Amino acid sequence: MNTTLKPSEILNSSSLHSVEDGGPIVAVVGMLTFFSVIGTTGNALVLYVYTRKRHKLAATVFIISLATTDLTTCIVAMPYTIIIEYLKYYVKYDIFCKMYMFFITSNVPFAAFIMVGIAFDRYFCIVHPFKHLMNAQRAKIITASMAGLAVSLGIITALNYSVYDIQICGGNSNTTCVKYTGVCKTSEILLPYSFTLHYQKLYTALFFLSLVMVIILYGLIYRSVLIRRAKRRRQRRSMCSLPLTKESWFSDYRSSVISSLRKHSDEKHEKNNIDSELLRQLTIRERGLVANIKTALMLFVVTAVFILVFLPAWLMAHQLIGYNRVIFYMYFAYNVANPIIYAFMNKAFRRQLKIVFKCM
């Protein structure tokens, strides 16, 4: 009987029984090799473009953090997974087992936390644009805090796994010994199974809570955009139906004032300067709002892809659907998809890529 653990048990340690093979390893190796090459290239370009920006916004900080995580996953976690899968989790050395568990379980929650940070940033920029609650410095502090939490989760998971295990000697439940198995799996040497089960519930809850928060925040953003559009439509209808609305009255009043001040060239010049400045400020704010909405749309697509590719793995980890090794590891596609999304939905990113390729 195959005593190795399938990958879904890495994310859910409550599954501690032996399992059957979940699909061809060759297909997984080929898929992850392709993901690793494409993802490394794409995320390296993302980092090159966004780190060169002089004025970094909060969204830029989050995108750089996400690209760094994706790049680390493509360079370290994916090749590591290929080796682990090929060896069927017989890794021989305990340190390699713990390192793999750390990388594979810290990157996933960190990406989910960054999704939450991005959603909050877009919410403040679009729904409360004048409060200026989020800036690059605060985004860096938030990202560092989220990274610390993700690292802590990875360390705890790593302590739950080992190539050694505690076994009962001679049928006496009071006598135990540490036995070398060579298989990277859950172990009670450092932490008891009871702690592991409670920890996995917390791990799953954090992941689920992050997704719920992201969905709620983008829902509020969408609601705010709809309310603003409806308000503008009402204003346009009122301007067409009522010639003496507040806006038209102000326009007539302004025209009368300007005409009365024509004989005073200095006053007229000052008035025109004020009007021009107001118009310029309104135009800047309008363009900023449109840019924030476009960025929010792009990052919402990033979040939607994150949920889509992780959902099958999450369902398999909790044994809600049958396990398939190839479909399970499709969640690595998320680390490859982000640069493609930026290229399709961000004109500035495409312009920078053209400059890079021209220089090459």
pLDDT of residue 97: 92
| Contacts with 226 (C-beta within 8 Å, 6 or more apart), sequence order | none
Residue with tokens 């653990």: 5
pLDDT of residue 142: 92
pTM: 0.72
- Measure the CA–CA gap between 327 and 316, rounded to whole angstroms: 10
Please report, in tens digits, the pLDDT of each residue of the chain (360 residues total): 333 344 444 444 333 333 445 557 888 899 999 999 999 998 998 888 888 877 778 888 888 998 999 999 999 999 999 999 888 889 888 999 999 999 988 888 888 888 888 888 888 887 887 777 788 888 999 999 999 999 999 999 899 899 988 877 665 656 678 888 889 988 888 888 888 888 888 888 888 888 888 888 888 888 887 787 777 777 666 655 545 444 444 455 445 545 554 544 444 455 555 555 555 555 555 555 566 677 667 767 777 887 888 888 878 877 788 888 888 888 898 888 878 877 666 777 777 777 777 776
- Measure the CA–CA gap between 266 and 1, rounded to whole angstroms: 94
Enter the tokens of residue 178: 């540490």
Compute, in degrees rounded to 10, the torsion defined by CA atoms 202, 203, 204, 206: 80
Residues 337 and 67 sit within 8 Å (Cβ to Cβ): no
3-class state of residue 192 by DSSP:
coil
pLDDT of residue 290: 63
Q: Which of 71, 104, 74, 75 is closest to 89 using CA atoms?
A: 104
User: Which letter does DSSP use for residue 6 in this model?
Assistant: P
Largest CA distance in the chain: 110
| Contacts with 66 (C-beta within 8 Å, 6 or more apart), sequence order | 111, 114, 118, 302, 338
Distance of CA 36 to the CA centre of its chain: 18
Name the β-bridge partners of 162: 185
Domain boundaries, the chain: 8-359
Kindly give the residue spans of alpha helices, DSSP state H, lying in 174-264.
Answer: 193-241, 246-260
Compute, in degrees rounded to 10, the torsion defined by CA atoms 148, 318, 159, 24: -110
3-class state of residue 133 by DSSP:
coil
Q: What is the DSSP string of 285-343?
A: HHHHHHHHHHHHHHHHHHHHHHHHHHHHHHHHHTTSS---HHHHGGGGHHHHHHHHHHH
- Measure the CA–CA gap between 239 and 233, rounded to whole angstroms: 10
Q: 8-359, what's its fold?
A: Rhopdopsin 7-helix transmembrane proteins (1.20.1070)
- Measure the CA–CA gap between 183 and 186, rounded to whole angstroms: 9
Q: Count the neighbouring beta carbons within 10 Å of the beta carbon of residue 354.
A: 10
3-class state of residue 180 by DSSP:
strand
| Contacts with 46 (C-beta within 8 Å, 6 or more apart), sequence order | 63, 67, 70, 338, 339, 342, 349
Angstrom CA distances, 287 to 105, 177, 233, stand at 40, 69, 18
pLDDT of residue 140: 92
Angstrom CA distances, 127 to 235, 243, 251, 292, stand at 20, 31, 29, 10
Q: What is the DSSP string of 244-298?
A: TSHHHHHHHHHHHHHHHTTT-HHHHHHHHHHHHHHHHHHHHHHHHHHHHHHHHHH
The Cβ-side half-sphere exposure at 28, using a 13 Å CA radius, reads 26
pLDDT of residue 76: 92
